[in-house]
Amino acid sequence: MLCELLIPAGFVLAIDQVSKKLMFERLGQLRPSRSDVGWKPRLRPLLNTTIALGLVRDRRALVILWGLAALGTIVSIFHAAVFHAWAARVGFGAALGGATSNLIDWLRLGAIVDFIDLRIWPVFNLADVFIVLGIGVVLWSVW
C-alpha cells in the first residue's frame, strides 16, 4: 500500500528534478528571439522566489508544513476508507512528489525553477502539473 504512494512520488521527483536541472543550465544561455513573439507556448526558465503564494517566508516553517502535509497524507491513506482506492494513493504520491521537488528547489536554491510558459497562465514546472493532476486523480477516485 505504501509503495503505491512512494513509487509515484519518487518518479515525479526524479522527472521534475531532471527537467529543472536541464532548464536551470539553459537559464543563462537563452536569448530572446523572433520566435518569442506571439501566442505559442514556449520554454522560458526563470527563478520563482515566492512559494506558498508568498505566505510562507521562513524555511523551517515551510519544512514543518510539508512534513505535516506528508504525515497527513500517509495517515489518510491508511485510516480513511475513502482513500483505499489504488488511484487515490497514486494521485497522492504524484502530488507529494511534486511538492517535495519544489521544496527541494526552494531549500537548495532559494527559488523554484519554473519554465513552462503558456502565455495565458503564470510560468510553471512539471512538479506543479503533477500536483494538480495528482489531486485531480484523488478527487476523481473518491467521487
Quick one: average pLDDT of 23-27?
A: 74
Residue 111 has what pLDDT?
Answer: 85
* Residue 67, number of CB atoms within 10 A of its CB: 11
The pLDDT confidence band at residue 18, using thresholds 50, 70 and 90, is: very high
Residue 32 has what pLDDT?
Answer: 47
* Residue-wise pLDDT tens digits, 89-138: 999 999 999 999 998 998 898 888 899 999 888 899 999 999 999 999 99
* Residue-wise pLDDT tens digits, 49-78: 876 656 666 778 888 888 998 898 888 888
Residue 27 has what pLDDT?
Answer: 63
Q: Give the residue extent of every domain in the chain.
A: 3-26+42-142
What single string gives the DSSP state of each residue in the chain?
A: --HHHHHHHHHHHHHHHHHHHHHHHHTTT----GGGSSS--EEEEEEE---GGGT---HHHHHHHHHHHHHHHHHHHHH-GGG-SHHHHHHHHHHHHHHHHHHHHHHHHSSEEEEEE-SSS--B-HHHHHHHHHHHHHHHHH-
Q: What positions carry a catalytic annotation?
A: 114, 128
Q: Does pTM surpass 0.85?
A: no
CA separation for the pair 33, 126 (Å, rounded):
24
Query: What are the cell numbers at 11?
Result: 518518479
